[in-house]
């Protein structure tokens, strides 16, 4: 067993980015998080690249892409599902919606308008036609959007910015603001309770650990999962990280961290889709992506705190609190002004293409 002395001794070895200059991980992230200037043509590979930058659960990247002349299909990749935290593939299809909306926004920026069509398989087929290029603020925000899992600075967001975010969501998906101190305290309690239930579930912890990338070498080799440095945490080789995790990810410690995160945020938003179906979940992913890109363009940071919507009993409690017991709240997102953190990676475009 690792003792406190051993932990203290190991800590200097855990700090990321100690060497001078740009690390291989930093270089990979810099090369990834950009939109290429193509100078003409039908940018199918560029659109797929943009779509892979979309938000997705546990950074599992549960999607495949098929390219045809002026057509792209986005297909669910069930081999990358997370059956413990996402037993009905809700997050998987929300992630698919995030990729779809990012792809459509990238298309408009490059001068190609996409018309999406849901497929019986659960995927989406997008047919493109030429259109005037619209490299607007949402297009420009694609390579800057991130899930920033750290404390923010507590500054409020203006009413005009909130109105713009609400307009970006659109009418199909319901948006519930959580700005009032009492509501924020109540939501914080539900997030903490949901998180505590997950930490007490050995299957959840095994699945989470499988998707954690404990150091930059592992993150660079896999190019998926939850890189610890991207959450502002220390890094370590997997053999050590797995042993340290139960010491640092405790129920009390996580409750205190969630409380700090929520207190430092300007507020939170809860997204509720039109139906409890893959089509409804894709709609949630699309609406959230517009919200996230609009927020990013306004200089805001965002992060998910989805614990209370991932447990059925906690989800019912949240729905009742929201006054809509028959509806399913889909996403909980906090937002505010905060720092930049290291970016997560994505698999290469060629790795997500299918014939």
CB 331 within 8 A of CB 341: no
151 and 136 in a common domain? no
Asked if residue 7 is part of any domain, the answer here is: no
How would DSSP label each residue in 83-143?
A: TTT-TTSHHHHHHHHHHHHHHHHHHHHHTEEEEEEE-TTS-EEEEEEE------HHHHHGG
Within this chain, do residues 123 and 189 fall inside the same structural domain, yes or no? Answer: no
Nearest Cα residue to 58 out of 233, 251, 211? 211
Residue 39 has pLDDT above 80, yes or no: no
**pLDDT of 16 above 60:** no
Whether residues 162 and 117 fall in one domain: no
pLDDT band at 121 (very low <50, low <70, confident <90, very high): confident
Q: Work out the average pLDDT over 196-223.
A: 97
Q: Is residue 165 part of a domain?
A: yes
Q: Are residues 187 and 204 in the same domain?
A: yes
In the predicted model, is pLDDT for residue 227 greater than 60? yes
Answer whether residue 207 is part of any domain.
Answer: yes
Beta bridge partners, 38, equal: none
The answer to whether the CB of 29 falls within 8 A of the CB of 343 is yes
Specify the CATH number for the domain of residue 237.
3.40.109.10
Final residue in a domain of this structure, among 144, 173, 192: 144
Q: Does residue 278 form part of some domain?
A: yes
CB of 287 closer than 8 Å to CB of 293: no
The pLDDT of residue 37: 82
174 and 309 inside one domain: yes
- Same domain as 153, residue 140: no
Residue 201 within a domain: yes
Last residue of a domain, one of 90, 117, 144: 144
- Which residues fall within 8 angstroms of residue 138, CB to CB, at 6 or more apart? 105, 168, 290, 293, 294, 297
Q: What is the distance between the alpha carbons of residues 242 and 247, in angstroms, rounded to a whole number?
A: 10
Together in a domain, 165 and 74:
no
Nearest one of 57, 321, 103 to 114, comparing CA atoms: 103
> Is 322 within the bounds of a domain?
yes
What integer pLDDT is reported at residue 42 of this predicted model? 62
- Model confidence pLDDT, tens digit, residues 277-290: 999 999 999 999 99
Does 346 reside within a domain? no
Is 57 in the same domain as 194?
no
Specify the pLDDT at position 36.
Answer: 87
Let me know if residue 2 belongs to a domain.
Answer: no
How many domains does the chain contain in total?
A: 2
161 & 102 share domain: no
Q: Which residues of 223-261 are buried (b: 16+ CB within 10 A; e: fewer)?
A: bbbbbbbbbebbbbeeebbeebbeeebeeeebbebbeeb
The two tokens of residue 13 are 């070895």
3-class secondary structure, 329: strand
291 and 229, same domain (yes or no): yes
Give the domain extent around 199.
147-336
């Amino acid at each position: 067993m690792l003792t406190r002395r051993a932990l203290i001794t190991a800590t200097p070895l855990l700090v990321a980015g100690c060497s001078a200059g740009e690390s291989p991980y930093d270089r990979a992230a810099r090369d990834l998080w950009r939109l290429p200037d193509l100078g003409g043509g039908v940018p199918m590979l560029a659109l797929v690249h943009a779509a892979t930058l979309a938000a997705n659960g546990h950074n599992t990247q549960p999607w495949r892409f098929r390219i045809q002349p002026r057509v792209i299909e986005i297909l669910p990749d069930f081999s990358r599902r997370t059956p413990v935290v996402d037993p009905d593939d809700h997050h998987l299809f929300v992630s698919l919606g995030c990729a779809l909306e990012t792809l459509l926004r990238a298309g408009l920026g490059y001068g190609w308008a996409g018309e999406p069509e849901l497929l019986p398989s659960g995927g989406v087929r997008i047919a493109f036609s030429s259109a005037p290029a619209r490299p607007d603020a949402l297009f420009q925000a694609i390579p800057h959007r991130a899930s920033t899992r750290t404390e923010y600075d507590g500054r409020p967001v203006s009413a005009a910015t909130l109105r713009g975010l609400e307009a970006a969501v659109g009418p199909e998906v319901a948006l519930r603001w959580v700005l009032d101190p009492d509501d924020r305290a109540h939501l914080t309690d539900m997030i903490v309770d949901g998180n505590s239930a997950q930490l007490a579930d050995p299957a959840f912890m095994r699945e989470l650990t499988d998707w954690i990338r404990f150091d930059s070498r592992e993150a660079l080799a896999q190019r998926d999962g939850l890189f610890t440095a991207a959450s502002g945490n220390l890094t370590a080789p997997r053999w050590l990280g797995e042993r340290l995790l139960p010491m640092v990810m405790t129920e009390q410690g996580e409750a205190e961290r969630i409380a700090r995160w929520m207190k430092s945020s300007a507020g939170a938003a809860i997204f509720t889709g039109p139906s409890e179906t893959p089509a409804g979940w894709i709609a949630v992913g699309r609406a959230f992506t517009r919200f996230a890109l609009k927020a990013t363009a306004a200089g805001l940071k965002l992060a998910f705190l989805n614990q209370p919507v991932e447990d059925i009993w906690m989800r019912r409690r949240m729905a009742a609190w929201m006054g809509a017991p028959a509806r399913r709240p889909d996403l909980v997102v906090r937002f505010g002004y905060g720092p930049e953190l290291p970016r997560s990676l994505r698999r290469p475009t060629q790795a997500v293409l299918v014939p």
